[in-house]
A and B are shown apart, each in its own frame.
Chain A
Amino acid sequence: MESVRKNGRGMHYVLCAAILLLSLLLLGAGRFREDLTSRRIRAEQTKTACREAVAALENGIAERYRQSWSELAGAEPELFLRACSAGMKPQ
């Protein structure tokens, strides 16, 4: 009878530990999801800023290339921003 009571108490501890672990896992998952969301928002903001920066240069592109510049730079603004930037130096 005593051993059953002891085992039952042991199970309580195991159950508590399992609940605690699950809570921590859920907390971690929540934070991970938050992080992913904020990263996606940040990436979108960067893309928009790059798109604007590249679009501002469109008037300087030779007329025969302007149409394809507009399409391709809109799709991959970071790539075109890199192609347009110069004077790379350590910060």
Chain B
Amino acid sequence: MRGTMAAGGFKLKTLMILSFLLTWAAVAAAHVFYYAVARRDQSLTDARRIAWREAEIPALRGRILDRNGIPAAWSELYHELILERIPDSPRRRENLRQRMERVLPGAPAWTGKPPILLKSNLAPDEIVLFAREFRLFPEVRIVPAMRRVAAGSSEIRERIGKTAENNAGEIVGISGLERKYDMELSGRAGRVIVMLDRNGNWCNETLRITRRAENGKDVTADFALPAGTEASGERFEHAEN
């Protein structure tokens, strides 16, 4: 009699445990179905928004050459080290300050409102150094910029003309040959997509170039630069972006 009751109790307990496991499995399966099928598109969109970023690879504007093939106007790519925002946490702020004193002695004080230019015209070895040293500080970024450089006398520079950034962030010629040959000189920026980690660093394994940058074409003008202009020519510069 007691044995039958014990067996009945064991069966009941087994049934309860099995029911619990089955319910748990059903709920888990329902969740998997919900996220993998019903909310799939929404989940993917959310994931893309949170982790994936798209950036542009700049294209170089074509050069304007004189009739002898000597460059009279060209684009120069340079890099700046920028403090985009000051960290909110005092500890992080102190860490960044210490790192900056070590890596970049004589950097400007953080008195103004960010973004603060820390260093301009970075050399390639500085790009490597700062990218490594500030890897854990997304507040500090290396930012590319372009400038258009022209050589020759003021008359020649006037003939070459000027460029400016339009509303879409593209560099266009606004006067002289820069304007006349804008279509030929303009390149097409490339595009890259990448996943970011929580520090805003690129996960290089996820990097994908979706569109190659196409540099603008060179254009030959009908004037000739005076001898020796290339080496010691006057240069005027204006930032393109």
Contact with A along B92-135 (1 / 0, CB 8 A): 00000000000000000000000000000101110110010000
With A81-B192, A83-B142 as known contacts, state yes or no: A57 contacts B127, CB within 8 Å. Answer: no
User: Do A76 and B53 form a contact, CB below 8 Å, given A50-B207, A56-B215, A86-B144?
Assistant: no
Are A80's CB and B127's CB within 8 A? yes
Among residues 75 to 91 in chain A, which have CB atoms less than 8 Å away from a CB atom of chain B?
Answer: 76, 78-91
Q: Which of A26-46 contact B (CB under 8 A)?
A: 39, 42-43, 46
Q: Provided the pairs A86-B144, A89-B54, A91-B193 are in contact, do residues A61 and B76 lie with their beta carbons within 8 angstroms?
A: yes
Q: How far is the CB of A48 from chain B (nearest CB, A)?
A: 10
The interface bits of chain A over 47-89 (1 if a CB of B lies within 8 angstroms of the residue's CB, else 0) are: 0011011001101111001001101110010111111111111
Enumerate chain A residues within 8 angstroms of B202, measured Cβ to Cβ: 78, 82
Give Cα A42 to B126, complex, Å: 29
| CB nearest neighbor in A for B206 | A46
Q: Is the CB of A86 within 8 A of B58?
A: yes
B77 touches A60 (CB 8 A): yes
| CB under 8 Å from chain A, chain B span 164-215 | 169, 190, 192-193, 202, 204-205, 207-209, 212-213, 215
- Among A50, A82, A85, A87, max chain B CB count under 10 A is at A85
Query: What sequence of 0s and 1s flags, for each residue 66-91 of chain B, a beta carbon within 8 Å of any chain A beta carbon?
Result: 00000000111111000000000000
B144 with A83: CB separation less than 8 A? yes
Give chain A residues whose Cβ lies under 8 Å from the Cβ of B52: 90-91
Of chain B, the residue at the smallest CB distance from A80 is B127
| B127, closest chain A residue (CB) | A83
In the complex, A56→B211 CA distance in Å?
A: 13
The docked-state distance in angstroms from the alpha carbon of A68 to that of B212 is 23
Number of interchain pairs (Cβ within 8 Å): 111
Residues of B within 8 A of A84 (CB): 57-58, 77, 79, 144
B25: interface (CB < 8 Å): no
For chain B, the bracket of interface size reads: 35 or more
Are the CB atoms of B207 and A78 closer together than 8 Å? yes
Q: Are A57 and B125 in touch, CB under 8 angstroms?
A: no
Question: Are B123 and A68 closer than 8 Å at their CB atoms?
Answer: yes
Q: Does B64 sit at the interface, judged by CB under 8 A?
A: no
Contacts of B74 in A (CB 8 A): 59-60
Nearest B residue (CB) for A49: B209
C-alpha gap A52/B209 in the complex (Å): 11
A69 contact from B75, B124, B192, B215, Cβ within 8 A:
B124
Chain B, Cβ-Cβ closest to A52: B212
Chain B's closest residue to A43 (CB) is B205
Tell whether, in the assembled complex, residue A65 and residue B209 are in contact, meaning their CB atoms are under 8 Å apart: no
**Which residues does chain A contribute within 8 Å of B127, judged by CB atoms?**
72, 79-80, 83
Chain B residue, CB-CB nearest to A82: B202
Beyond A61-B77, A78-B204, whether A89 also contacts B53 by CB under 8 A is yes
**Cβ-based interface call for B49 (8 A):** yes
Q: B56 at interface (Cβ–Cβ under 8 A)?
A: yes
8 A-B pairs whose Cβ atoms sit less than 8 Å apart in the complex: A43-B204, A50-B209, A62-B78, A65-B124, A83-B131, A84-B77, A84-B144, A86-B241
